[in-house]
Amino acid sequence: MEDNNHSHFQHLYFALTGIPGLEQKYYWMAFPLGAIYVIALVGNGIIISTIKSESSLHTPMYYFLCMLALADMGLALCTLPSMLGIFWFNYKSIAFDACLVQMYFIHTFSAIESGVLVAMAFDRVVAIWNPLRYGTILTNGVVCRTGVVILSRAVCVVFPVPFLIKRLPFYHSNILSHSFCLHQDVMRLACASTRINSLYGLIAVIFTKGSDSISILLSYGFILRTVMAIASGEGRLKALNTCVSHTCAVLIFYVPLIGVSVIHRFGKHLSPLTHALMANAYLLVPPVLNPIVYTLKTKEIRRKITQIFVQTKITAER
């Protein structure tokens, strides 16, 4: 009878963890954290508004960049309430259902970002392999349908995850390892077999990030082979230079992802601080660094930022 009751029991809330060992410094860490979110949201917002307003940027490459910026904003907004709640107000509780919602959107936006990076890799393949047919291959319709496929795949693949968690009983610890809800972190607190969750999680990762990473590697292999066939050294450098921003975006996304995955699987002996820092890097680094990378490489975005600063200065002087 007791087991039957336990099988239907769930915590009303989970306790989030900030950065272990630095609790006394949360007040001072709140301001840099707030600045990070401002950079992420404002930076990606500027990219989107610049692409929208500059007709010269109405090309497939920048449409995909706009999708990437939207995914980055989504990731930042998913974690913002719980992160600022901990570091600004020392509020460490999150309702069970709210945790499932946050978990769903974090993994969905992460899958969207991975899919967009594949689309951007294909964009570079077409631009370098057959630049004369670039506009006829990657039409606005193709870009639109690609975006719909990326969104649909992410939504459908992640959709079962909260329901698989919802069916599990939780009646022991309710303390999560991070400042937000991740599937692996919530799953480990369950008081029943999580084999189905683990199996589905593995399938979902292979179907999204696993296949995406292989597609990106194959794309760059094809790009390198095409570039090596260019006769002039200047032409080769010019072709490779168009891939620098995307290569940085891929590394910014996949290096923290691989790091947090390895730590979850093999880093049981590591300190909680390491786990927390890697998880924060996984979700905060891409939204912050991607706008910086693309701003440095795109003069139209730099010009837009300059205009904003000038307008702000004029307004302040008035």
Tell me what pLDDT residue 302 has.
81
What mean pLDDT comes out for the span 211-220?
Answer: 96
Closest C-alpha among 253, 245, 304, 313 to residue 283: 253
Q: What is the average pLDDT score of the chain?
A: 88
Tell me what pLDDT residue 3 has.
43
Greater confidence (268 vs 35) lies with 35
CB within 8 A of 285, min separation 6: which ones?
252, 256
Greater confidence (214 vs 22) lies with 214
- Which of 20-24, 161-165, 256-260 is most confident? 161-165
- Which of 30-34, 213-217, 242-246, 264-268 is most confident? 213-217
C-alpha distances (whole Å) from 7 to each of 94, 95, 96, 169 are: 22, 19, 16, 5
Is residue 2 predicted with pLDDT exceeding 60?
no
What mean pLDDT comes out for the span 46-61?
Answer: 90
Six-digit token pair at 50? 């610049």
Tell me what pLDDT residue 9 has.
63
CA distance 56 to 281: 34
CA distance 150 to 66: 14
pLDDT band at 269 (very low <50, low <70, confident <90, very high): confident
Residue range 111-161, pLDDT digits in tens: 999 999 999 999 999 999 988 899 899 999 999 999 999 999 999 999 999
Residue range 173-196, pLDDT digits in tens: 888 888 899 998 899 888 888 899
- Can you tell me whether residue 16 is helix, strand or coil? coil
Residue range 68-110, pLDDT digits in tens: 999 999 999 999 988 888 888 888 899 999 999 999 999 999 9
Helices and strands of the chain, counted as H and E runs:
14, 2
pLDDT band at 262 (very low <50, low <70, confident <90, very high): confident
- Can you tell me whether residue 67 is helix, strand or coil? helix
What mean pLDDT comes out for the span 2-15?
Answer: 62
Q: What percent of the chain has pLDDT over 90?
A: 53
Tell me what pLDDT residue 140 has.
94
Is residue 207 predicted with pLDDT exceeding 80?
yes
